[in-house]
Amino acid sequence: MRKLLVYLSCLSFVCHGLAESNVVVRVMAANTTTGNYQRYEAPGLNIFKGLKPDIVAVQEFNYAGSYRDMVDNAFGAGFEYFRESGYSIPNGIISRYPILGCGSWVDSDTGVNDRGFVWARIDVPGTNDLYVVSVHLKASSDSASRRAAQALEIKNLVAANFPPDAWLVVAGDMNIYSESEGAVATFSSFLRDDPVPADRNGNTGTNASRSKRYDRVLFSPALAGRLVPVEMPSRTYADGLVFDSRVYVPLSDVPPVASGDSAAVNMQHMAVVRDFVFTVPSAGPLPAVLAQPGYAEGQFRFSVTGTTGSSYVVHASTNLQAAGWFPVQTNTAPFTFSEAAPAGSCRRFYRGVPSP
């Protein structure tokens, strides 16, 4: 009887930490409108379908039909979107993940009255929300000073409206002609742009002639450690991808893209893609629970429950020192553990843990 009482007083169970998994989120800048009306047509929609982005900063967000139908067709019925109103070539954001908040900031440049700056707070996997700003800066080679003013306004709007150290992406058609522009310096003061995405030939140009890097996916330093190579079915783009259907091979990676899609009539620019990885806690098996102890016919026994179907290990020890535990049985929950009373032992502790 003395041993039984000691066994009962020494029953114990231990918990374990949560498992983790990684989710890759693909972010795209897209001014891929075509035709005579600066709107999304089959070539641009094909590129969306082929690259399968999770979040897109969209410029010139026009379509000859229902925008809900456009998003359903190119992305899927589960995607959400926001498109600013009151502009002829509005910006917007499309997201696989829930959009928790969104809006449009007015561009103070009075000469840019056909679009604003669109923002969204997105519930991406992981511990933080992602803040995305979709922008379309002033075009032309003689507008560098105006782009610099727009960049500073975006910086100030972000600082005034988003949390410090937010996970932030500013993406879109920035119409930047030279890396010496003031807009580049301003964006560099709070965002990262390296490494620079390119196509398979190393060309970083994104305008129709592939001579200027107009389109960019910039990100906050808080996201720098989460940037990962863009993994396509047959090739990895370590620095991110500038997608041009005329040079991408094999096109079997990106159905239904056709080779001429990036050269369609009045195709604005090339899509730019970066991938980020977010770590998501996931619940593993429940802690083991040791219960219903009993002693009969020379056998000590108790039940072990946890997550049904998961494997657990019962450890035993004659003391509670970390080095004193040793496995005595592995089984699938729920199960009953039993063993004969060990000879010469006056006490014995037990614990259950998920099997590695």
DSSP string, 286-343: PPPEEEEEEEETTEEEEEEESSTT-EEEEEEESS--GGG-EEEEEEESSEEEEEEPPT
Q: Which residues pair with 349 in a beta bridge?
A: 317
Residue 5 has pLDDT above 70, yes or no: no
Under DSSP, the state recorded for 292 is E
Mean pLDDT over all residues of the chain?
91
Range of lowest pLDDT (13-22, 61-70, 272-281): 13-22
Average pLDDT, integer, range 40-58: 98
Residue 8 has pLDDT above 50, yes or no: no
Distance CA 338, CA 301 (A): 4
Q: Which pLDDT band, with edges at 50, 70 and 90, does 20 fall under?
A: low
DSSP 3-state assignment of 23? strand
Rg of the chain on CA atoms, in Å: 29
Q: Are 122 and 56 in contact (CB under 8 A)?
A: no
Distance CA 314, CA 277 (A): 36
For residue 296, the model assigns a pLDDT of 80
Q: Which pLDDT band, with edges at 50, 70 and 90, does 15 fall under?
A: very low
Query: Hey, how many other C-beta atoms are within 10 angstroms of the C-beta on 251?
Result: 14
The first and second tokens of residue 341, run together, are: 């009373």
Range of lowest pLDDT (35-44, 46-55, 105-114, 274-283): 274-283
pTM of the predicted model as reported, rounded to 2 decimal places: 0.77
Residue 6 has pLDDT above 50, yes or no: no
Distance CA 89, CA 39 (A): 8
The CA angle 38-58-109, to the nearest 5 degrees, is 80
Range of lowest pLDDT (19-33, 60-74, 98-112, 147-161): 19-33
Q: Are 320 and 46 in contact (CB under 8 A)?
A: no
For residue 2, the model assigns a pLDDT of 40
What backbone torsions phi and psi does residue 258 show, to the nearest 5 degrees? -105, 155
Average pLDDT, integer, range 61-66: 98
For residue 320, the model assigns a pLDDT of 73
Q: Which tens digits make up the pLDDT trace of 156-173? A: 999 999 999 999 999 999
Q: Which pLDDT band, with edges at 50, 70 and 90, does 343 fall under?
A: low
For residue 136, the model assigns a pLDDT of 98
Residue 10 has pLDDT above 50, yes or no: no
Q: Which tens digits make up the pLDDT trace of 239-295? A: 999 999 999 999 999 999 999 999 999 999 999 999 999 998 766 778 888 988 888
Q: Which residues pair with 101 in a beta bridge?
A: 121
For residue 28, the model assigns a pLDDT of 98
Distance (Å) of CA 12 to CA 70, 127, 171, 209, 265: 58, 33, 54, 70, 72
For residue 19, the model assigns a pLDDT of 52
Distance (Å) of CA 166 to CA 65, 131, 217, 295, 322: 35, 7, 16, 58, 41
Peptide bond before residue 195 is cis, with ω within 30 degrees of 0: yes
Q: Which tens digits make up the pLDDT trace of 202-216? A: 999 999 999 999 999
